[in-house]
Amino acid sequence: MDLLFKAVTVVDSSSPLDGQAVDILLKDGQVSKIAPSLEVENAQVINEPGLCCSIGWFDLIAFSGEPGYEQRETLDGFMRAAAYGGFTEVACLPNVDPITQTRSSIQFFTQRSQQSYVQLHPIAAVTHDLDGKDLAEILDLKAAGAIAFSDGVNSLDSADTVLKALEYLKLIDGVLINKPENKRMASGGQMHEGIASTRLGLKGIPAIAEEVQVTRDLQLLRYTGGRLHFTQLSTAGALNAVRQAKQEGLKVTCDVAAHQCAFIDQTMIPFDVNYKVSPPFRSEEDKVAIWEALQDGTIDTIVSAHLPWNEEAKEMEFDLAEAGIIGLQTAYAVANETMTAQVSWKNIVQKLSVGSRNVISLPVPTIVEEGAANLTFFNPTKTWVFDPMLNASSAKNSPFLGQELIGCVYGTYMNGQLTLNPAYSK
């Protein structure tokens, strides 16, 4: 059925319609008409006050569970959570089973999401078996459809491996994604090293564990050239190093997890495993540095860092529990609510929609008549509750369950399919 959205505000800085309230007619997967006012027979009319429309959001970092870890997350739940969170496209980490390091494992994601309401993009392993040593078959994986290369949740510890990966990927203009953490410095750490960790008697993870890896990788990038993306940066020192590298002209980009600005080490609920994340929640100074880096463009995009765990992995002592939270459904709202005092909500949408695609040089959709409709509809001021009954993920590891948030996704439109977020009408 044709869909007629009435009086939606376009949020797209590249469009002449940016900031305008218009009617949008969607038909057969395309934007059929855009006008100040439209009347269409036999169309389903959607008239929601305060509704905005942007190009579909793209999440650059998420763990899908399936294949291999269906007890943590199935692709059906993963894709529903993505759509409810406003994402029409998601890049999937390679830490599944089998590891995303063959043509068939790449095709598992691309074929599964063909003509679906969420398109999946595989990130391939940069090292064989994610061992951090020998490079995977990068050329073959790129030809099969890998959008970037990474060892995912595993940091690349070896400088030699990073150097070789940058040199090799430079031949195909590929992007290396690395989560920077010095494993020896971080070993045994449970939260950010600071006053709070000392008070709670927990071993801390120092900021320098991240910063020393960022500095090292930037030196290697400076030596080799190529393209490097740091994922889930969390410290002021790391962000400042990236800022200086960008000013120098290096091809470096970075992201931050949306939840990183929701809490600091001193506002966590002590020993609540839902607050155990990697990298950990840092200091107030680090949170302010993230706001500044979002504002000045040092941070290119915001990611969900979606990492589902089954109850057995979380319901145990804090020092034994796994780190990570589910973030697909809450990433936008958390970013919108916790950052708007420093960063405009339009800036957040820009990073979710355009910034993520620019990192990996994917084409950016547009909102134009007779163009393919890849759209996210949302209301930046609407409050909603992340009701456990509306959690699309099979995992429950989130500090936001049951919490009221500001900024709600109405739905997505992708490949001719409108997917509504059930939380919007609650």
Is 394 part of any domain?
A: no
- What pTM does this model have? 0.97
Residues 26 and 76 in one domain: no
Q: With contact defined as beta carbons under 8 Å apart, do 177 and 217 qualify?
A: no
Residues 78 and 159 in one domain: yes
Task: Read off the pLDDT of each residue in 405-412 and give the average, rounded to a whole number.
Answer: 97
Q: How far is CA 139 from the centre of its chain?
A: 25
Residues 178 and 283 in one domain: yes
What pLDDT is stored for residue 343 in this prediction?
81
Cα–Cα dist 33/40, whole Å: 10
Share of the chain above pLDDT 70, in %: 99
Is 378 part of any domain?
A: yes
Residues 95 and 191 in one domain: yes
Q: Where are the beta strands (DSSP E) in 218-275?
A: 227-230, 252-257
Q: With contact defined as beta carbons under 8 Å apart, do 176 and 162 qualify?
A: yes
Cα–Cα dist 426/424, whole Å: 6
CATH number at residue 410: 2.30.40.10
Residues 216 and 325 in one domain: yes
Is 126 part of any domain?
A: yes
Is 397 part of any domain?
A: no
Kindly write down the DSSP assignment for every residue of 337-395, as one continuous string: HHHTTTS-HHHHHHIIIIIHHHHTTPPPP---TTEE-EEEEEEEEEEEE--GGG--SS-
* Residues 156-203 pLDDT 10s: 999 999 999 999 999 999 999 999 999 999 999 999 999 999 999 999
Does the structure show a pLDDT above 90 at 339?
no
**If you average pLDDT over every residue of the chain, what do you get?**
96
What pLDDT is stored for residue 289 in this prediction?
96
Burial grade of 403 (CB within 10 A; 0-12, 13-18, 19 or more): middle
Read off the tokens for 69: 């870890």
Model confidence at 338, pLDDT cuts 50, 70, 90, reads confident
Is 398 part of any domain?
A: no
What pLDDT is stored for residue 143 in this prediction?
96
Residues 301 and 231 in one domain: yes
Task: Read off the pLDDT of each residue in 283-305 and give the average, rounded to a whole number.
Answer: 96
Residues 293 and 311 in one domain: yes
Residues 71 and 14 in one domain: no
Is 395 part of any domain?
A: no
Beta strands 52-55 and 374-385 are: antiparallel
Residues 100 and 156 in one domain: yes
Task: Read off the pLDDT of each residue in 15-37 and give the average, rounded to a whole number.
Answer: 96
Task: Read off the pLDDT of each residue in 141-154 and give the average, rounded to a whole number.
Answer: 97
Beta strands 3-10 and 44-46 are: parallel
Is 121 part of any domain?
A: yes
Residues 288 and 219 in one domain: yes
Residues 155 and 62 in one domain: yes
What pLDDT is stored for residue 230 in this prediction?
98
Does the structure show a pLDDT above 80 at 363?
yes
User: How many CA atoms are closer than 13 Å to the CA of 219, on its beta-carbon side?
Assistant: 8
Cα–Cα dist 276/264, whole Å: 11
* Residues 210-267 pLDDT 10s: 999 999 999 999 999 999 999 999 999 999 999 999 999 999 999 999 999 899 999 9
Model confidence at 341, pLDDT cuts 50, 70, 90, reads low
CATH number at residue 313: 3.20.20.140
Read off the tokens for 367: 């909102």
Of 67, 88, 12, nearest to 373 (Cα)?
A: 88
What pLDDT is stored for residue 340 in this prediction?
62
Give percent helix, percent strand, percent coil of the chain, each to the nearest 5: 30, 25, 45
Domain count along the chain: 2
Is 392 part of any domain?
A: no
Model confidence at 1, pLDDT cuts 50, 70, 90, reads confident
Structural domain containing residue 415: 3-53+369-387+404-425
Task: Read off the pLDDT of each residue in 397-425 and give the average, rounded to a whole number.
Answer: 97
Secondary structure class of 152 (helix, strand, coil) = coil
Residues 124 and 17 in one domain: no
What pLDDT is stored for residue 207 in this prediction?
98
What pLDDT is stored for residue 14 in this prediction?
87
